[in-house]
Each structure stands twice: as C-alpha cells, then as structure tokens.
Amino acid sequence: MNSSKLRPNVVLWWGVGLAVVGALLVIFVPSLSYYLVDSSNSAGGVSNGLLSFVEILVRVLGAILPTLGIVLIGASIVMAYLRQLLRPTLGAMVTARRQSMETD
C-alpha cells in the first residue's frame, strides 16, 4: 500500500514557505523596480514595458502567495487534528481483534 506524501508537516512547511516568499515579494520587489526605473534613463536600461509586466506579476503573486500560504497552514492544522481524531486507539484495536477472534 502506498502511503500518501501529503502529511500535515509537509503542508505546514509549504504554507510557511509560500507565506514568507509572498511577503518578501511584496516588500522587496517594488524597491527593486524603482531602482531599475531610475537606471532606465541611462543607456542599456530596462524598458518600461518589461517593468510594467514585472510590476503586474509581482502584485498578483504578492496577493496570492501569502493567502495560499496561510490557507495551507490552516489546512495542516486541520489535517493533524483529523489524524488524531480518526486514529484508532489501542484499546479499540484490541477489542476489535478479540471480537474477530471470537467470531472465527
């Protein structure tokens, strides 16, 4: 039987990673684009079309990634809770085994 690689701790770390990357995008990329706009006046500068595309892309990713990260963190908490809730206890397993032995 193949075990699923979708475990709560993996989902938690993906959520933390996406939230941090999204926050870093929102914080650092606008200042980088302002720096590139200042240097676009010189020869060999970056075109404004490319900067506009990067700005739109960063805004979209900056809106999606932190939200997705937070949702994944919440999902990992629910997954861990459900795993504990649905895991059969040792007593229930022993009782079920005794009952199956009695019926055989």
pTM of the predicted model as reported, rounded to 2 decimal places: 0.67
Q: What pLDDT shows up at residue 90?
A: 63
CA distances from 28 to 13, 21, 32, 62, 104 (A): 22, 10, 6, 11, 68
Q: What pLDDT shows up at residue 18?
A: 94
Q: Which of 26, 7, 10 is nearest to 67 (CA)?
A: 26
Q: Can you list the residues of the chain whose pLDDT is less than 50?
A: 1
Q: What pLDDT shows up at residue 2?
A: 56
Lookup: tokens for 49? 């079309």
Lookup: tokens for 83? 């795993």
Per-residue pLDDT tens digits for 38-64: 665 555 556 777 777 878 888 888 889
What does the alpha-carbon distance between residue 88 and residue 19 come to, in Å, rounded to a whole number? 34
Q: What pLDDT shows up at residue 40?
A: 55
